[in-house]
Amino acid sequence: MPRQADPQLEQRILEAASRLRARGGAKALTMRAVAKAAGTTTPTVYERYRNREDILRALRIHTRVQLFARLSRARTLSQICQYYLEFALEHQHAYEVLFDKFAQPPSIHEPWPSFNLLRTCLAERLGGTPREHNRTMLSLWSLMHGTAMLLIRGGVAGPLRTQMFHACLDAVEAVIAEAGRSKEKTRTGPKWPSNLVLGEAVDSKVVRGAGSRTKSSRHRPRKRKPKSVALSGANPGPVI
């Protein structure tokens, strides 16, 4: 009888890759090591993935699909935050891989369904278009991701974990409420650059230096070089 395909093989390969990447970094993620950790052969892994980068891309997309499925069940923005943190804690290795160099290609040009879901929910609650809520979206994302990484890397448990979890939920609600009062007006720094596009797959772009200069840095006076004077009985040199 012909050998039947293993329906769980690709899942095992991706889980093995996330564990290896989390424990030993990129150097530990070889095709042979992935095959061994997944309980299969190296040629079998190559049949499905060209190289290490191909495995990481598949892992990122798979994790985004899982995260989006979890968040889609939420009825409120607060629930989205709760489900986000729960997902990060349940899939720690895959979650860390997901955000490794997320602002660089190829990750920046891959679909970000959860990012867009949250932007859309903000638009439904506060009005306007999803793109108008980029700044608030980054605030919420920073809160959720920062809390998730503190919980994961800090080995937090017990009452402290519960307090941090709900502190994040409270902060999310506070940010959203303030965004509604201020009508999304930028409080600090430059306005959102038109050439900074996130969450739109191939149309996404992060231009280095775009919007990075502040008003104070543009008008900062130049430093003058110290004048040199001649001292009697000594060679001319700068005044210190």
The residue whose two tokens read 């409420």 is: 177
Asked whether the CA dihedral 134, 136, 142, 147 is positive or negative, the reply is negative
Q: Which residues contact 46 (CB under 8 A, 6 or more apart)?
A: 31
Looking at the structure, tell me whether residues 8 and 112 fall in a common domain: no
Burial class of residue 222, CB neighbours in 10 A (0-12, 13-18, 19+): exposed
Which pLDDT belongs to residue 215? 43
Are residues 196 and 174 located together in one domain of the fold? yes
Amino acid 221: pLDDT: 47
Number of compact structural domains in the chain = 2
Domain that holds residue 100: 60-209
The tokens describing 239, both together, are 């005044």
pLDDT bucket at 194, cuts 50 / 70 / 90? confident
Cis bond leading into 221, ω under 30°?
Answer: no
Torsion, CA 149, CA 32, CA 28, CA 113, rounded to 10: -30
pLDDT at 90: 95
Distance CA 40, CA 35 (A): 5
The answer to the question of residue 216 being in a domain is no
CA pair distance 170, 141, nearest whole angstrom: 14
Last residue of a domain, one of 49, 69, 86: 49
Question: pLDDT confidence of 208, banded at 50, 70, 90?
Answer: low
In this structure, the answer to whether residues 114 and 205 fall within a common structural domain is: yes
In this prediction, residues 210-236 reach a mean pLDDT of 44
Kindly report the average pLDDT of the chain as a whole number: 85
Please state the rounded mean pLDDT for residues 148-160. 95
Mean pLDDT (whole number) for 179-201: 86
42/77 same-domain check = no
Confidence band (pLDDT; 50, 70, 90) for 189? confident
Q: Which of 82-96, 189-203, 224-238 is the least confident region? A: 224-238
Q: Does 20 fall in a domain?
A: yes
- Please check whether residue 222 lies inside any domain of the structure: no
Residue 233 domain flag: no
Q: Do 181 and 161 touch, CB atoms closer than 8 A?
A: no
The answer, yes or no, to whether residue 226 has pLDDT greater than 90, is: no
Q: Does 23 share its domain with 64?
A: no
Residue 70 · residue 49 · CB < 8 Å: no
**Rounded average pLDDT over 101-114:** 92
Please tell me whether residues 70 and 183 are part of one structural domain: yes
Percent of the residues in the chain that have a pLDDT greater than 70, as a whole number: 83
Res 7: pLDDT: 77
Mark whether 64 and 39 lie in a shared domain.
no
Q: What is the per-residue pLDDT for 22?
A: 84
pLDDT band at 24, cuts 50/70/90? confident
On whether both 121 and 21 belong to a single domain, the answer is: no
**Digit-coded pLDDT (tens) for 118-139:** 999 999 999 999 999 999 999 9
Position 224 scores a pLDDT of 52
pLDDT at position 232 is 37
Total length of the chain = 240
**Residue 108 and residue 166 in contact, taking contact as beta carbons nearer than 8 Å:** no
Are the C-beta atoms of residues 51 and 101 closer than 8 Å to each other?
A: no
40-95 tens-digit pLDDT:
999 999 999 999 999 999 999 999 999 999 999 999 999 999 999 999 999 999 99
Non-local (6+) Cβ contacts of 227 within 8 A are 238, 239
Residue 116 falls inside a structural domain: yes
